[in-house]
Amino acid sequence: MKRYEPPAGWVVQAYKFALDPGDTQTGSLRRNTGAARFAYNHMLRRVGAVQAQRAAEASYGVSEADLTPWQGWSLPDLRRTWNEIKQWVAPWWAACSKEAFNTGLANLSAALGNWHASRTGARKGRRMGWPRPKRKQAQRSARFTTGAIRVDPGYRHVVLPRLGRIRTHESTRKLARRIRAGTAQILSATVSETAGRWFCSFQVAVRRDHNRPAHAPRAGRVVGVDAGVKHLAVLSTGELVPNPKPFNAALKKLGKAQRRAARRIGPYDPATRSKRTASKRWQRAQDAVTRLHATVAAVRADSWHRLTTRLAQQFDTVVVEHLHVAGMIRNRKLARSLADAAPATLRRHLGYKTGWYGSILYVADRWYPSSKTCSACKTAKPKLSLAERTFNCTTCGLSLDRDVNAARNLADLVRHVDLELPGDAKTGRGAYVRSVRPAPAGWAAGDEASRPSGVNAGRQRTAADREFTFTH
C-alpha cells in the first residue's frame, strides 16, 4: 500500500474521540474487529501451512515446478486469496465491512514483511520472530479507508461504514470546523477498544501555517530540555517540571486488583496444567486491572502532551538528548522508574509539534556528556555517579543542580548555529530536526572568533549544510 504524502503546507495528524455506542452498536463494533482478527489468523495459518508443505515436498526431491503454489504475503496477494476462499471459511463475511477484513490482511502483510526484512538484515534492531496469532484478549481494532467516513454537523456523532452514526462522549467541533473551512481532509478512521471503552481515531490531512497561538508568547529563543526520573523534565531556564509518576501512584491499587484476580477461577488450572472455563468474576477482576493500566497510560500521555506543546509554542529552538532508553532500562534498579517516566516520548512528540508551530528541534549526540560538563567553564569531569545530584565544578567553583546544568549545556550547543532556517530545509513532516555534536573545549557560546577552521568556517551556512550532523 502506497503511503500518503501530504502536499506542501499540510501535515497528517490524528483526532481521537471517545465513543458512546449502544448495545447494538457495541455488538457491531466487536463483530467487525473480530473479523479483522479472524482474517489475520486464518491467512497466517495458510501462509505457514504452504511454507511447511513446500519444504516437505522439496525434501522428497519434488521439482520446483511441481511444488505447491506459493502463497504471497503482499496485501494484493492476501486479498486475492481471501476473496476466493471467504465464502467457505467465513460464510458470515457479508455481515461485516470489507474494510474489517482488509485491516487484518494489511496487518499480516506488514508483520510478515517486517519478519522477512529482519531475517535478511534489511531491518535494524532485534531479530524478529514469526508473527503470532492474535488472541481474543488482544486489543480490538479495525480501520476504515473507504465509504461514509465523516463527523456529524451536530458535533456529537461520527459516521462510519456499516456502523452508521455513533454518539461521542466529547464534542467533535475542532475537527468539524476545520473540515468546513477546507483546511482538513479525513483520510481514514480506526475504531479500537481500550479497557472496555471504544474510541474512534481519524487520520486527517491538515493545513498548518506554522503560526503560534496568541496566548503563547515567546519566552526565549533557545531552551535545553533534560528528561529525567525525579522530574519529568528540567529546562535550561531553571524550571523543574514535576513528574506525576502515575504507575507508582497506582501501585497499591494495582496490587490489590491483581491479588483479587489471582484468587478467581481463571482460564488456566495450575494444578492440572490444563485449560478451563474462566469465571465471570475473574473477567471482572481482569477488567479492573486493565482499567488501572489505562488510567496510568492516560495520565502519563497527558503530562507529556502538555509539556511538549508548551515547549513547541513558546520557544524558537528546543534542544534535547538522544537517549538510549532501551539500554538504560536494563538497569534493574531504574527500570520501573524509567518506564514510568517514558523519557523517549519527549523527542517523539517534539519531532512533529515543532513543525506544527514553526520552531526548531535539535537532537544532541548520544555520547555528549551534558551532565559531566560544567555549563560555565565547559570543563568535563571524567566520572559523575548518579548519586551526585549536585554538580560541583573543581575548576570554576560552580555548584548547580546536575539536571539544570545538563539542560544549560544542551542549550549552549546551538548558540552558534543560525536559527533562521529557510523553508526548504524542513523534514518530510515539516519539522526542523537536526542532530548536533558539541563544540570543542574552549568554544564559548556566541564566540565567533574561536570558531574552528574547516570546510564550513568563514562562509554562510546553506540549507544543504544544515542537513548534516554538525561536527568539529
> Does residue 461 surpass a pLDDT of 60?
no
Active-site residue, from 99, 316, 340, 403: 403
Mean pLDDT, to the nearest integer, of 409-433?
54
DSSP-derived secondary structure for 233-290? EEETTS-EEEP--HHHHTHHHHHHHHHHHHTS--SEETTTTEE-PPPHHHHHHHHHHH
Planar angle of CA 449, 452, 458, nearest 5 degrees: 70
- Check: CB of residue 175 under 8 Å from CB of residue 15: yes
Nearest one of 267, 46, 36, 49 to 134, comparing CA atoms: 36
Q: Which residue has the higher pLDDT, 441 or 76?
A: 76
Indicate the residue type of 321: E
403 in catalytic set: yes
> Does residue 213 surpass a pLDDT of 90?
no
**pTM as predicted:** 0.81
Q: Which residue has the higher pLDDT, 420 or 96?
A: 96
Q: In the prediction, which pLDDT does 298 show?
A: 95
Torsion of CA 71, 76, 79, 81, to 10 degrees: -30
Mean pLDDT, to the nearest integer, of 17-22?
95
Q: How far apart are CA 303 and CA 313, in angstroms?
A: 16
Q: In the prediction, which pLDDT does 1 show?
A: 55
Give the chain's end-to-end CA distance (angstroms, integer).
42
Assigned C-alpha cell, 431: 519539522
DSSP-derived secondary structure for 362-412? EEE-TT--TTTB-TTT-PBPS---TT--EEE-TTT--EEEHHHHHHHHHHH
Q: How far apart are CA 395 and CA 408, in angstroms?
A: 18
Find the range with the poorest average confidence among 205-219, 247-261, 347-361: 205-219
6 CB-contact burial (10 Å; exposed 0-12 / middle 13-18 / buried 19+): middle
Buried b / exposed e over 127-156, threshold 16 CB at 10 Å, is eeeebeebeeeeebbbbbbeeebbbeeeeb
> Does residue 176 surpass a pLDDT of 70?
yes
Q: Are strands 184-194 and 164-167 parallel, antiparallel or unpaired?
A: unpaired
pLDDT in tens, 109-166: 999 999 999 999 999 888 899 999 998 878 899 999 998 899 998 899 999 999 999 9
Active-site residue, from 99, 316, 321, 412: 321
Q: In the prediction, which pLDDT does 221 show?
A: 84
Among all chains, which residue has been given the C-alpha cell 457491531? 28
> Does residue 207 surpass a pLDDT of 80?
yes
Find the range with the poorest average confidence among 114-123, 219-228, 345-354, 438-447: 438-447
Split at pLDDT 50, 70, 90, the class of 460 is very low
Q: How far apart are CA 360 and CA 363, in angstroms?
A: 10
> Does residue 453 surpass a pLDDT of 60?
no
> Does residue 358 surpass a pLDDT of 90?
no
226 in catalytic set: yes
Among all chains, which residue has been given the C-alpha cell 476462499? 85
321 in catalytic set: yes
| Residue 39: alpha-carbon gap to chain centroid | 26
| Residue 249: alpha-carbon gap to chain centroid | 24
Mean pLDDT, to the nearest integer, of 201-212?
84
pLDDT in tens, 269-311: 888 889 899 999 999 999 999 999 999 999 999 999 999 999 9
Active-site residue, from 99, 226, 316, 340: 226
Tell me 73's DSSP state: -
